[in-house]
Amino acid sequence: MSLKHKLVLLTLVCISHFGFAQRGMLDNAIGLRFGLGSGVSFQHFSSDHNVIELIAMQRYGGLNLTGLYQAHNQAFDVRGLKWYIGGGAHAGIYGKRSVLHDGSEVENIAVLGIDGILGLEYFLRGLPLQISIDWKPAINLYGTRYHEWDSGAMSIRYRF
């Protein structure tokens, strides 16, 4: 089994774990993330203000799994619109063809680092959908010295 398949399997196991730990209706959301670092996003809402998000994404020929804690708050007195801020960590792997590979003899480079996130999220009325836009800077602390200041995305998620 390739490393990419293992990371996808790990993401699905994490998603199923959070899916069974629900406290009520519409506590989870899953969807696609489009932008610099596209992939899959899963959120678990432990309250209206506390959210854990897992993101499996690819960029620069590598694959990253990111875990974030976010604090959500009402924005501009608009029903369904929230702003959020948070932080967390990521782990990833980059192959020899990646622009981030340092040219060493090893086939793949593993990275570990920290992430921040700042965004806006809108929950559609009458539909279990949400749309968000965010900025997610990241700094690798191990593996490569790459700092990702330009990572932003739009996500569309189904709430269940």
The residue with tokens 């191990």 is 142
- Residue 36 in 3-state DSSP? coil
CB-side exposure of 55: number of CA atoms within 13 Å? 36
pLDDT of the chain along its 160 residues, tens only? 665 555 555 555 555 554 444 444 569 999 999 998 799 999 999 998 999 999 999 888 789 999 999 999 999 999 999 999 999 999 998 876 666 555 665 678 889 999 999 999 999 989 999 999 999 999 999 987 778 888 899 999 999 9
Measured between alpha carbons, how far is 61 from 20 in angstroms, rounded to an integer?
A: 33
Measured between alpha carbons, how far is 122 from 130 in angstroms, rounded to an integer?
A: 5
Domain boundaries, the chain: 3-159
> Considering the entire predicted model, what is its pTM?
0.79
Rg (the chain; Cα; Å): 16
Structure tokens at 9: 């399997």
- 3-159: which CATH topology? Porin (2.40.160)
3-state DSSP helix/strand/coil percent for the chain, to nearest 5? 10, 55, 35
- Residue 96 in 3-state DSSP? coil
Measured between alpha carbons, how far is 144 from 150 in angstroms, rounded to an integer?
A: 17
